[in-house]
């Protein structure tokens, strides 16, 4: 396998709703930013991968078809990836493999999503319609008819973890993480919740969405796009000669999807109190990169829900399972701690445009690695029912 580098990145601002832009325009904005950031012409790009999670959000089946020509990849291959919440990370994995296999030297990976055009005319609110649209991701025979949906599903995992580890995921630890992510988001110029201040006290008094998860512990719905340019080592060297900037290297990738149905045997079914996919994916990615979790200085983690962020960090081995409160109580992820988590504000404060959220995470991790002189970063994506999809990607900055 060939080495793969990220040579450019481009973002649109994250907004809850862009009445001013369609997803075509958002896609073009991000791609334009990315090629200019990389210092290349779009005609040099040989192929593309488009991450779009949900056709209904885009109001079009095969929504990526309109991109051909708009993003400058006419008469070249463009593959759409859709993998639940982890769509962005899986799209990156596909693009990385196109380069690593030697098939292409320069590949564009783009993630884009609309969401808030969905509207419940009865409730006169977007929210129930957006939740329903995501809810269509559950199976139509056994679970969706019962009202299973994203918050319900993740809350099941969170509650099962708390049953297994009483006292962990303590309300105050969770609230402090929300407060921290809010502060960190203020350093992200594209963050959806720029200018907000959310305190731990507000979190503790916010409403339940699905008991035991409160509204201020959940990610936002976002419209936006992010594009990245992946290059072979040879191409990365040429681009470096043009721009004078060192690329960031993709040195480890891992992915695992847990089974849909819950059971008692982790080798065959989803065990409800685990996010085993995150455990397996991270382990694979770290092994491939030849590093340990302790070597990672920044993690941009897919925080669909704050308690899930805590479980994921435990599954990754940052703390033992059952000791996730230590992330706050031992100051591990607090300012001055040994690990920087979600400097972008994550999906709770930065934004969650599903098809591209994990690319936003990558954009942010690269930015922090350059600004803070860090060697290793980790990108994480999760998604689908019960947080069953997991992807981990190791980034490396070679001085």
Partner 1 sequence: MAHTGKTVASAKSKTKPVISTAMLPMEGITDVQGADGVYLQRNDVMFTAMKHTQGEFSDFFRALRDEGKVFGHRCPECRHLIIPPFMRRCPACNFVEMKKEYVNDTGVMVATPVITVFAPSRFKGQEPFGTGRVFLETADGKLSETAMLVRVRTTRGTIRPGIYKRGTPVKIAFCDSRHGEMLDIFAVPQKELTRRQLAKSPLLESEIEWGRLSEMEFGKPTAQLQKTLQEVRVHFQKLAEMIPHSPRATANLANWRRTVTVRTSGGTFGLVVDKGKLQVRKQGVKDPDLVVAVQDPSILLAWLRDSTEPVGDSVKSPALTDLVIEGTLVLNKPELETVTRLDRVPRSLRRDNVVIARSAKANQKTPC
Which residues contribute to the site for partner 1 (CB under 8 A)? 16, 19-20, 56, 59, 117, 119-124, 127-132, 134-135, 140-143, 145-149, 151-152, 155-156, 159-160, 162-163, 192-193, 195-199, 201-202, 205-212, 215-216, 218-221, 260-265, 268-269, 272-273
- Assess contact for 298 and 362: CB atoms under 8 A: no
Q: Which is nearer to partner 1, 117 or 396 (CB)?
A: 117
Nearest approach in angstroms of CB 70 to partner 1 is 19
Q: Which is nearer to partner 1, 16 or 243 (CB)?
A: 16
Q: Which is nearer to partner 1, 230 or 349 (CB)?
A: 349
Nearest approach in angstroms of CB 117 to partner 1 is 8
Nearest approach in angstroms of CB 342 to partner 1 is 17
The CB-based long-range contact list for 140-148 (8 Å cut-off, 24+ gap) reads 143/385, 148/385
Nearest approach in angstroms of CB 306 to partner 1 is 13
Q: Which is nearer to partner 1, 31 or 155 (CB)?
A: 155
Nearest approach in angstroms of CB 286 to partner 1 is 28
Q: Which is nearer to partner 1, 78 or 162 (CB)?
A: 162
Nearest approach in angstroms of CB 341 to partner 1 is 21
Report d(CA 377, CA 298) in Å as an integer: 5
Q: Which is nearer to partner 1, 115 or 236 (CB)?
A: 115
Strands 47-51 and 78-81 come out as parallel
DSSP conformation letters of 224-248: EEEEEEEEEHHHHHHHHHHH----E
Q: Which is nearer to partner 1, 178 or 394 (CB)?
A: 178
Label residue 268 exposed, middle or buried (CB < 10 Å: 0-12, 13-18, 19+).
Answer: exposed
Nearest approach in angstroms of CB 153 to partner 1 is 9
Nearest approach in angstroms of CB 346 to partner 1 is 14
Count Cα neighbours of 123 within 13 Å in the Cβ-side half-sphere.
11
3-class secondary structure for 162-180?
HHHCCCCCCHHHHHHHHHH
- Assess contact for 88 and 111: CB atoms under 8 A: yes
Q: Which is nearer to partner 1, 59 or 102 (CB)?
A: 59
Q: Which is nearer to partner 1, 24 or 260 (CB)?
A: 260
Label residue 309 exposed, middle or buried (CB < 10 Å: 0-12, 13-18, 19+).
Answer: buried
- The tokens of 100 are what? 């690593």
- Assess contact for 229 and 110: CB atoms under 8 A: no
- Assess contact for 218 and 14: CB atoms under 8 A: no
Report d(CA 111, CA 383) in Å as an integer: 15
Nearest approach in angstroms of CB 348 to partner 1 is 10
Report d(CA 15, CA 191) in Å as an integer: 8
- Assess contact for 314 and 321: CB atoms under 8 A: yes
Q: In what order do the strands lie in the sheet with 376-383?
A: 78-81, 47-51, 106-113, 224-232, 4-11, 248-257, 389-397, 376-383, 298-300, 340-341
- The tokens of 369 are what? 């690695």
Q: Which is nearer to partner 1, 104 or 174 (CB)?
A: 174
Nearest approach in angstroms of CB 180 to partner 1 is 15
Q: What backbone phi and psi angles, to 5 degrees, belong to 362?
A: -65, -45
């Amino acid at each position: 396998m060939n080495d793969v580098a990220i040579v450019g990145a481009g973002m649109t601002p994250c907004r809850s709703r862009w009445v001013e832009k369609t997803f075509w325009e958002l896609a073009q904005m991000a791609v334009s930013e990315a090629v200019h950031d990389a210092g290349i012409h779009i005609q040099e790009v040989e192929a593309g991968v488009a991450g779009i999670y949900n056709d209904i959000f885009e109001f079009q089946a095969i929504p990526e078809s309109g991109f051909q020509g708009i993003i400058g990849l006419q008469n070249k291959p463009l593959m759409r990836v859709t993998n639940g919440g982890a769509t962005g990370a899986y799209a990156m994995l596909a693009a990385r493999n196109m380069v690593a296999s030697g098939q292409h030297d320069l590949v564009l990976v783009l993630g884009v999503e609309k969401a808030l055009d969905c509207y419940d005319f009865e409730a006169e609110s977007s929210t129930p319609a957006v939740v329903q649209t995501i809810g269509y991701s559950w199976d139509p025979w056994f679970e969706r008819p019962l009202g299973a949906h994203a918050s319900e599903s993740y809350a099941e995992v969170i509650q099962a973890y708390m049953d297994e580890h009483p006292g962990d995921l303590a309300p105050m630890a969770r609230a402090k993480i929300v407060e921290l992510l809010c502060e960190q988001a203020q350093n992200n110029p594209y963050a959806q919740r720029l200018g907000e201040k959310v305190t731990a006290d507000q979190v503790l008094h916010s409403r339940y969405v699905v008991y035991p998860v409160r509204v201020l512990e959940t990610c936002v719905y976002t419209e936006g796009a992010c594009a990245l340019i992946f290059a072979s080592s040879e191409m990365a060297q040429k681009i470096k000669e043009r721009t004078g900037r060192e690329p960031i290297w993709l040195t480890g990738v891992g992915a695992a999807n847990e089974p849909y149905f819950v059971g008692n045997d982790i080798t065959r079914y989803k065990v409800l109190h685990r996010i085993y996919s995150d455990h397996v994916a991270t382990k694979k990615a770290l092994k491939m990169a030849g590093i340990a979790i302790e070597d990672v200085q920044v993690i941009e983690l897919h925080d669909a829900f704050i308690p899930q962020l805590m479980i994921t960090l435990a599954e990754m081995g940052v703390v033992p399972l059952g000791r996730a409160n230590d992330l706050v109580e031992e100051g591990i992820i607090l300012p001055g701690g040994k690990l920087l988590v979600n400097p972008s504000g994550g999906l709770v404060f930065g934004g969650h445009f599903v098809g591209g959220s994990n690319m936003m995470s990558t954009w942010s991790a690269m930015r922090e690695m350059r600004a803070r002189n860090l060697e290793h970063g980790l990108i994480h994506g999760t998604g689908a029912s019960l947080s069953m999809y997991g992807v981990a990607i190791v980034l490396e900055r070679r001085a």
